[in-house]
Amino acid sequence: MEMVKVTVDNQQVEVPKGSTILEAAKKVGIKIPTLCYHEDLDVKAMCRICVVEVVGARTLQAACSQPVSDGMVIITNSPAVRRARKINLELLLSNHPQDCLNCVRNQRCELQSLADQLGVQQQRFRPKTKTKSPRDESTAALIRDPEKCILCRRCVEVCHQVQSVGAISPANRGIDTEIAPAGGVDLNDVACVQCGQCSLVCPVGAIYEQDHTERVWSALADSSKHVVVQTAPAIRVSIGEEFGLEPGQVSTGKLVAALRRLGFARVFDTDFTADLTIIEEGHELLERLNKGGTLPMITSCSPGWIKFIEHFYPEYLAHLSTCKSPQQMFGALAKTYYAEKTGIDPKDIYVVSIMPCTAKKYECGRPEMTDSGYADVDAALTTRELAKMIRLAGIDFASLPEEEYDAPLGISTGAAVIFGASGGVMEAALRTVYEVVTEETLASVDFKAVRGLEGIKEAEVDLKGTKVKVAVANGLGNARKLMDLIKEGKADYQFIEIMCCPGGCIGGGGQPIPTTNAIREKRIKAIYDADLGLPLRKSHENPAVKTLYEEFLKKPLGEKSHHLLHTDYTKRGKYPEAANR
Amino acid sequence: MTIYRSHVLVCGGTPCVLKGARTLKDLLLKEIERYQLSDEIRVVETGCLGPCDDGPVLIVYPEGAMYSKLKPTDILKIVEHHLLKGRIVEELVFRERKSSAGALQGSAVPLEQEKYLSLQKRVVLRNCGRINPDSIDEYIANNGYLALGQAVTTLTSDQVVKIVADSKLQGRGGAGFPTGLKWSFTAKTTSDQKYIICNADEGEPGTFKDRLIMEGDPHGIIEGMAIAGYAVGASQGIIYIRGEYGLSIERMKNAIKQATDYGLLGKKILGTEFNFEIDVRSGAGAYVCGEETALIESLEGNRGEPRVKPPFPGIAGLWGKPTIVNNVETLANIAPIILNGPEWFRSIGTENCPGTKVFTMLGDINNQGLVEVPMGITLREIVYEVGGGIPGGRGFKMAQTGGTSGGCLPSEFLDMPMDYDTLSKVGSALGSGAMLIIDDTHCIVDVLKSFMKFFCHESCGKCTPCREGTTRLYEIVLALSEGTATDTEIQLLKELSGAMQLSALCGLGQSAPNSLLTCLNFFADEFQAHLNGQCPSGICKNLTIESEAV
Amino acid sequence: MTVTSCNIQKPNLGEVIEKYKEFPGSLLDLLHEVQEIDGYLSRDVMQQIAEGLGISESKVYGVATFYSLFKTAPTGQFIIRICESAPCHIRGAQEVLEAIEETLGIKPGETTLDGKFTLEFTSCLGLCGVAPAIMINDQVYGNLTSDRVKEVLLNF
Ligand SMILES: Cc1cc2nc3c(=O)[nH]c(=O)nc-3n(C[C@H](O)[C@H](O)[C@H](O)COP(=O)(O)O)c2cc1C
Ligand code: SF4
Ligand code: SF4
Ligand code: SF4
Ligand code: SF4
Ligand code: FES
Ligand code: FES
Ligand code: FES
């Protein structure tokens, strides 16, 4: 690699050619403040907070975008630099509600920390007079607050480039610029999939999840309610970050302990129904393979993905597995099987799920998700919301003991844990399908080809003569590529796993902020570590699931399963409210 | 070709057409017909003749008599006296208007001696007002396409780049970047496709030179673009004209069609291996699209927001391909440079900034309109000689050079030479060549209000300092005009202006505070007066007129 | 007084989209042409354009709202665009504006009740040689005074 020599604040440093000033400065231990910059996204250099002096240049240069050249002399902390940064920040603040105390991002806001870092102590510009569009609370999962938006456009890029949804774009010009859905309508009136990836990259409190914590607190305080909680596979590898633990640590036991201390009657695990999903979905796949059903069959556990296909590929819904997601299977069973078993009236059971995902809030509100006779899931909290509750309760997460999930809906295998990472559902399914079909024990349960952050992964498995070709996509942009292949008749796969979010649920829209690709990698590693550490690593070996079939469901794809665990989908189209105009 | 006794060139520039030039032309034709002079006298509609404010204008050759401010009855007189009887109608002849009432009035000075014309040097406007812009034959008859022919048949691409570099031609779009250098970067790249974009998005307030060049001599631009294409190895040209310029779009399209029909555009031009085509595209109302990367975004069907540079368009521009963006006037200089050589070009203007510059003179000036003068002419010459001074003999207060993005210069600067280098040294800019003259009856704060409003309206909204800053600048200037501004706000205004100049993403935000800062500097008293609740000019409504009571 | 008088046949939306579909970057040209149909770009129209070009509707909307010549809501039959840039300002644009406001009873940004005129500000129209200037649809008028502009309006 060609290297260039530059001087940053009197320190010589050698960096690869093409590095930015930001990178060069980092190398000498200087962290130039940034705001619009995001390490995983294209550099747009719009906020002008990161400006530095380059000797010889007429103007200040944006460190995030400006490549270094050999011999460049950079000053990151001159009076002119400090003045410009501060003015630019003050300009943003002057057009921003002074609302930190009531803000979802209070103390975890990039704008707020910058104000502190750059020494803003008074408001020198006149108070803002112009108002922006009102807060949009139309969707089940998300709230957008244009007043707080600082127009960094990270959300736009994620929504267009990463997710290929394109629900929101900059509209208008100049001081009237806002990020908005087409026509300036509510987000719910356009084909937003509620994945929350936008909320994950937003530096401020301008996009965030609908709050379900209040209803959970109320349920917990209601003595007539039996409040149970389920935790998604990806929570155990991310929740620690909210409490200062390094990304990549597994905190399953502390998570359980915290939930108990919050007052949940039973702490269960979505992993239980993840194992169940594998049994149901595995059999569904085999049935399709044997009976000539629609192939490739595509997984259905990611609600953002489901909404995506309903909007953008409605004519391909038959490819979706009819299995509900683990969250919803759990809810349906909690209010039937578990209710029966414990003799608690299902109307008194309150099911809370802890999810890495904002779309789960949307999913649990879908009208078809009431097969138990009640709303199968009553509240879906994101990882961030759970952390907020733990903080509010004053629980010192880091020093909690390790505790175990409750039986029976808390019993699971390693196959369920890996649901949390892209490729996990596929790997779990292969572990089971292989053994069911071949009646042989797998030599190695690890299907490494389907793991990792890469957008589209492929593998082929030999099921005693029948070759099954599979594909795995994460992030909707990659999902779109696979769907286009199917559309063109070029997809020769039998089974496809699609996860809405980059990296799968460990990178979900409800995960701790920041969630970057580097952090995703660490969480992925943690997921596979957790899998490795478990005695049982195949879903069909889960004893509690076996009991469930014996006592209640009888057989995979049976009558009860069909009623409680499977669902159907709705054609939505790209312009969901066009018909209403 | 028929030999005509006289040629009547009727100005068909938009300003004259607005004042009824077309009706006059029809009348003129009718009258000529009536006197049965149609075989002897040819009437041609041309591009802008310069003194737009005195339109409608026409010139009769060979006498070179320019008639201005014409009314239908004047046409009757001109036909009867001049065209029929050969006597110039003195009272209708265009005169520079002098503020010192009628100094020149009545004395029948031959037209060419008038200061208005004598200080001018027409390179870019060589054909404007002399030929029919809709006729490629007339362009060719005036050495048109000769330079292109020479370039593609006798010069290598490198030689063309070198000639342009040697001429020291600087871009006329505002920044004054050396054109030859720009071309050389792109010429060095290898790419399956390169583009030449002619920037005709002219939106700088007070600027309408590109409009009138396009209306008056479209082939000059086409020829320049083709030569540029040959020089850097591009086969596709695009001319991006602002959506509001209907006539320019029409003229350019027509000229491109003619050139294509003549084999001067298209495949294998003049039998060589050189191919070059030109498309006309139009903007949709956004000043910022004049910025080259915003223009490219717009051509790609996006919001016209400037891109981060580097990469520069010359390396990665339209569709990521090497792209030259040049102003209309820059390109109109190319053919004459090739024909007459770089030494000739350098002999005009100043040493560092050679050539001519087309200025639009506006505001409180007698000869409002378009002039082409050598670089380095002084402000005084422009205002008092070419421009004919200030109406009503009022005093000169300031000139804003370079359009609304430029700075404001008070009378101390009247003897400063107008070129890129000198102006940028004093915090102003030559920019697009708009010269807004403001007399002493105007209020600085009031004028600044209008400048600042422009930037609020035109900021693209991409970067913080400009999106938020333009509004804040306007707000504080507004407060000044209403008497509610404070001393600390003036301090803030300065700090904000500095931050914008230094940290905005593109030239729009960087230059938005120029006028404000120069005015704060040169007219401090007037600001102080406003802070004290007084508007010396009596223009700001809420304030009192307490002159110089500071 | 007309400078550009394009004799435009009302085009058909589908045909226009078809025409530009294969031509990359043509969104602005397409919007210009489509706007001729109804005088503005409705959501339906923007959706069809998005569909035709294979881009998101929000992007079409973002582009349409960036440029001042595009309208995403119905306007009056005639759009009066009055230049508010400095050269016109110092040559009496304010007076012209007041005359228009008085004659039509609307402020910039508003449309007359009969739907005939919409009044809006514009930046420099490049007609400063004849400042103050306005455009009414694609016709331009210069050297206006309050009386002259009233006369102009009478002709509509
Ligand atoms: C806000 C802004 C507006 C501009 N408008 C124009 C314009 O209308 N015409 C133009 O030729 N250049 C304009 N420019 C300059 C162009 O970015 C570019 O420098 C120029 O077209 C290069 O051509 P030249 O080298 O021939 O001058 C503008 C620049 C900025 C920052
Ligand atoms: S977004 Fe940040 S700065 Fe704005 S109110 Fe919330 S915490 Fe405060
Ligand atoms: S939730 Fe997902 S689809 Fe909706 S706006 Fe955000 S990123 Fe786009
Ligand atoms: S909503 Fe958030 S991410 Fe999107 S532009 Fe605004 S501040 Fe940036
Ligand atoms: S300086 Fe202004 S016009 Fe230029 S990018 Fe920034 S906001 Fe846009
Ligand atoms: S972080 Fe560099 S401009 Fe925003
Ligand atoms: S347009 Fe006629 S003189 Fe300028
Ligand atoms: S300033 Fe009004 S047209 Fe140029």
Q: Going by C-beta distance under 8 Å and a sequence separation of 6 or more, which residues neighbour residue C134?
A: C80, C81, C82, C83, C96, C100, C125, C140, C141, C144, C149, C152
Provide the residue type at A376 as one letter. D
DSSP bridge pairs for A209: A142
- C146 within a domain of the structure (yes/no): yes
Place of tokens 């409190």: A205
Select the residue from C31, C82, C128, C136 to test the B interface by mutation, using most B Cβ atoms within 10 A: C128
Out of B244, B250, B364, the one facing C135 most closely (by C-beta) is B244
What pLDDT is recorded for position B44? Answer: 86
Count Cβ atoms within 10 A of the Cβ of residue B529 and give its class: 0-12 exposed, 13-18 middle, 19 or more buried.
buried
Whether A180 shows a pLDDT value over 70: the answer reads yes
Instruction: Based on the residue annotation, tell me whether A284 is a catalytic residue of this protein.
Output: yes
- Please report which confidence band the pLDDT of residue C2 belongs to, taking 50, 70 and 90 as the band edges: very low
Average pLDDT, chain A: 97
User: Rounded mean pLDDT of A235-256?
Assistant: 97
- Is a pLDDT exceeding 90 seen at residue B113? no
Tell me, yes or no, whether C24 lies in a domain. Answer: yes
Alpha carbon of A484 to those of A104, A122, A172, A300, C56: distances in Å? 38, 54, 32, 18, 16
- Chain A residues close to C57, C-beta within 8 Å: 166, 182-183, 190, 574-575
**Residue B106 clears pLDDT 80, i.e. is over it:** no
Give the pair of three-digit tokens for residue B283.
């903007």
Q: Looking at the predicted structure, is the pLDDT value of residue B305 above 90?
A: yes
**pLDDT reported for residue A63:** 98
* Same domain? C38 vs C87: no
Q: What is the pLDDT of residue B546?
A: 64
Sign of the dihedral through C-alpha A236, A242, A244, A247: positive
- What is the CB neighbour count within 10 angstroms for residue C36? 13
Q: What is the pLDDT of residues B472-522, one digit of tens each?
A: 999 999 999 999 999 999 999 999 999 999 999 999 999 999 999 999 999
How many other CB atoms are there within 10 angstroms of residue A402's CB atom? 11
Cα B384 vs. chain centroid, distance in angstroms? 20
Domains of chain A, residue spans: 3-91, 142-209, 213-565
Which residues are within 8 A (CB) of B226 and not within 5 positions of it... i.e. 6 or more apart? B148, B237, B264, B265, B269, B276, B278
Q: Where are the alpha helices (DSSP H) in A439-580?
A: 476-487, 517-532, 543-548, 559-565
Per-residue pLDDT at A14: 97
pLDDT tens track for B163-201: 999 999 999 998 899 999 999 999 999 999 999 999 999
Answer yes or no: do C87 and C149 share one domain.
yes
pLDDT for residue B102 = 31
pLDDT above 70 covers a percentage of chain B that reads 95
Residue B94 scores a pLDDT above 90: no
Neighbours of chain B (3+ CB pairs under 8 A): A, C
What is the number of other CB atoms lying within 10 angstroms of the CB of residue B148?
A: 29
Is A281 among the catalytic positions? yes
A321 is catalytic: yes
Distance CA A316, CA A491 (A): 13
Rounded Cα gap, residues A189 and A580, in angstroms:
10
State the residue for tokens 């570590």. Answer: A529
Q: Does residue B358 surpass a pLDDT of 90?
A: yes
C51 and C108 share a domain?
no
Q: What is the pLDDT, as a whole number, of residue B112?
A: 40
Task: Identify whether B62 is preceded by a cis peptide bond (ω within 30 of 0).
Answer: yes
Instruction: Order the strands of the A379-382 sheet from edge to edge.
Output: A266-269, A226-231, A349-355, A379-382
Is the minimum CB–CB distance between B454 and chain C shorter than 8 Å?
yes
By the 10 Å C-beta count (0-12 exposed, 13-18 middle, 19+ buried), A271 is classed as buried
Beta-ladder partners of A30: none
Q: What is the CATH number of domain A3-91?
A: 3.10.20.740
β-pairing, A226-231 vs A266-269, is parallel
Instruction: Please give the torsion angle defined by the CA atoms of residues B435, B436, B439 and B444, in that order, rounded to the nearest 10 degrees.
Output: -130
Q: Which chains touch A (3 or more CB pairs under 8 A)?
A: B, C
Task: Note the pLDDT tens digit of each residue in C4-26.
Answer: 444 445 678 999 999 999 888 99
Residue B101 has pLDDT above 50, yes or no: no
Q: What is the pLDDT of residues B390-441, one digit of tens each?
A: 999 999 999 999 999 999 999 999 999 998 888 888 888 888 899 999 999 9
Measured in angstroms, how far is the CA atom of residue B111 from the centroid of ligand 8? 29
User: Do C86 and C47 share a structural domain?
Assistant: no
In angstroms, the separation between the Cα of residue A280 and the nearest Cα of chain C is 37
User: What domains sit in chain B, N to C, each tagged with a CATH number?
Assistant: 6-94 (3.40.30.10), 136-344 (3.40.50.11540), 444-549 (1.20.1440.230)
Average pLDDT over residues C76-83: 96
- Whether residues C138 and C85 fall in one domain: yes
Angle between the A424-438 and A270-291 helix axes, to the nearest 10 degrees?
A: 60
Do residue A169 and residue C47 have CB atoms under 8 angstroms apart?
no
Cβ–ligand 1 contact at B305 (below 6 Å): no
Inside any domain, residue C7: no
* End-to-end CA, chain A: 58
Nearest-atom index, ligand 4, CA of A198: 3
Q: What is the pLDDT of residue B119?
A: 79
For residue C105, give Cα distances in angstroms to C99, C111, C114, C127, C136.
10, 9, 11, 26, 17
Q: What pLDDT sits at residue B46? A: 85
* pLDDT at res. A128: 87
**pLDDT bucket at B104, cuts 50 / 70 / 90:** very low
Q: What is the pLDDT of residue B512?
A: 97
Give the pLDDT confidence of B322-356 residue by residue, as tens digits.
999 999 999 999 999 999 999 999 999 999 999 99
Contact state of A169 with C62 under an 8 Å Cβ cutoff:
yes
Centre of ligand 5 from the C-alpha of residue B516, in Å? 18
CA distance B142 to A6: 55
pLDDT at C41: 97
Spatial strand order of the sheet with C78-83 comes to C117-122, C78-83, C134-136, C139-141
pLDDT reported for residue A1: 82
Domain CATH number, residue C82: 3.40.30.10
d(CA A321, CA A312): 17
Residues with CB under 6 A from ligand 2: A 96-97, 99-100, 103, 105-106, 109, 111-112, 148, 204-205
Q: For A62-94, how does the pLDDT look when each residue is reduced to its tens digit (9 = 90+)?
A: 999 999 999 999 999 999 999 999 999 999 999
Distance A155 CA to ligand 3 centre (A): 8
Pocket of ligand 4 (CB under 6 A): A 149-155, 179, 201-204, 206-207
Which residue is listed with tokens 């709230």? A143
In this complex, do C58 and A181 lie within 8 Å of one another by their Cβ atoms? yes
- From the candidates B315, B462, B470, which should be mutated to test the interface with A, based on the most A CB atoms within 10 A? B462
Residue B107 in this model has a pLDDT that exceeds 70: no
- Please report the pLDDT score of residue A580 as a whole number: 72
Instruction: Indicate which residue's Cα is closest to atom 2 of ligand 4.
Output: A202
Could you identify the atom of ligand 3 that is nearest to the CA of residue A197? 7
Q: Which domain holds residue C41?
A: 13-66
pLDDT at B55: 87
Question: Do residues C103 and C128 both lie within one domain?
Answer: yes
Q: How far apart are CA C44 and CA A437, in angstroms?
A: 52
pLDDT in the model for residue B504: 98
Q: What is the dihedral of CA A9, A15, A21, A24, to 10 degrees?
A: -50
Tokens 């500071």 belong to B550
Mean pLDDT of A43-63: 97
Task: Provide, rounded to the nearest whole percent, the portion of chain B with pLDDT above 90.
Answer: 76
Is position C123 within any domain? Answer: yes
Point out the least confidently predicted range of A62-66, A271-275, B11-15. B11-15
C70 and B438 in contact by Cβ < 8 A? Answer: no
* ipTM surpassing 0.90: yes
Q: Is residue C72 part of a domain?
A: no
CATH topology agreement for domains A142-209 and A213-565: no
Report the relative pairing of strands B369-374 and B434-439 from DSSP bridges.
Answer: unpaired
- Amino acid letter, residue B484: T
With an 8 Å Cβ cutoff, are C123 and B203 in contact? yes
- Chain A residues whose CB is inside 8 A of the B485 CB are none
C71 located within any domain: no
- Output the average pLDDT for chain B: 91
The total domain count for chain C is 2
- Residue of B197, B364, B400, B450 to mutate, testing the C interface (most C Cβ within 10 Å of its Cβ): B450
- Tell me what pLDDT residue B3 has: 77
CA angle C88, C94, C100 (to 5 degrees): 110
Report pLDDT digits (tens) over A28-47.
999 999 999 999 999 999 99
Amino acid at B126: R
What's the whole-number average pLDDT of chain C? 91
Per cent of chain A over pLDDT 70 is 100
pLDDT, residue C137, reads 93
CB pair distance less than 8 Å for B461 and A172? yes
A37 lines ligand 6 (CB under 6 A): yes
Q: Which fold has domain A142-209?
A: Alpha-Beta Plaits (3.30.70)
Residue C86 and residue C150 share a domain: yes
**Are the beta carbons of A381 and A389 closer than 8 angstroms?**
yes
Model pLDDT for residues C90-139, shown as the tens digit of each residue: 999 999 999 999 999 999 999 999 999 999 999 999 999 889 999 999 88
- At residue B542 the predicted structure's pLDDT band, cuts being 50, 70 and 90, is confident
Fold topology of A213-565: Rossmann fold (3.40.50)
Distance from CA of C111 to the nearest CA of A (A): 20
C135-156 confidence digits (pLDDT tens):
999 889 999 999 999 999 998 8
For the CA of B287, the nearest ligand? 1
The mean per-residue pLDDT over the stretch A553-562 comes to 96
